[in-house]
Amino acid sequence: MIPVFDQWQIFLALAGAGMVLAFTFDCYRVGRFFWRPRSLATLAGDALFWLLITLLTFILLMFINWGEVRAYTFMALGLGALLYGLFLSRSTRRCLYAGGRFLGSSLALGRRLLNRTVLVILLPGRLALNFLAWPLQPLQFIWRRWLRPGGPGGPAGG
């Protein structure tokens, strides 16, 4: 028989696991807000999310109480999720939304910077290559004909 003190520790740890699971749900909720999937992607995402949540719950149960599922296990997980939902969910989602907006604007800024950097580097190089290639254009015809199969020195030619 498990001592009462240990049972309380397990109960509190399971309530913490319920909070972790509720936080995971908030992360998924915010991710769906920014991604805005269509119906088929929503179904696939929901199925994958619940599969991962089930796996996470199993892992947490194995670490906390060696996988024993009793009535207080469900009560503790539900209590943890309820406490998270009442006291932490709103402020956490605000932070997650702000972080998502910041990440989106940072990625957009990085993409614009990269596009402009590539343009600044490649455009002068392309112009210089075109300028240098102009005098060599007559030789280009001969070079291409020489490399073509069946031409002089090619595999089909003799």
Q: DSSP of the chain, one letter per residue?
A: ---HHHHHHHHHHHHHHHHHHHHHHHHHHHHHHHH---HHHHHHHHHHHHHHHHHHHHHHHHHHHTT---HHHHHHHHHHHHHIIIIIHHHHHHHHHHHHHHHHHHHHHHHHHHHHHHHHHHHHHHHHHHHHHSTTHHHHHHHHHHHSTTSTTSSS--
Supply the pLDDT for residue 152: 57
Q: Mean pLDDT by 10-residue block, N- to C-terminus, for the chain (158 residues)?
A: 88 95 96 93 95 94 89 94 97 96 95 84 77 74 68 53
Supply the pLDDT for residue 155: 56
Supply the pLDDT for residue 116: 83
Supply the pLDDT for residue 130: 77
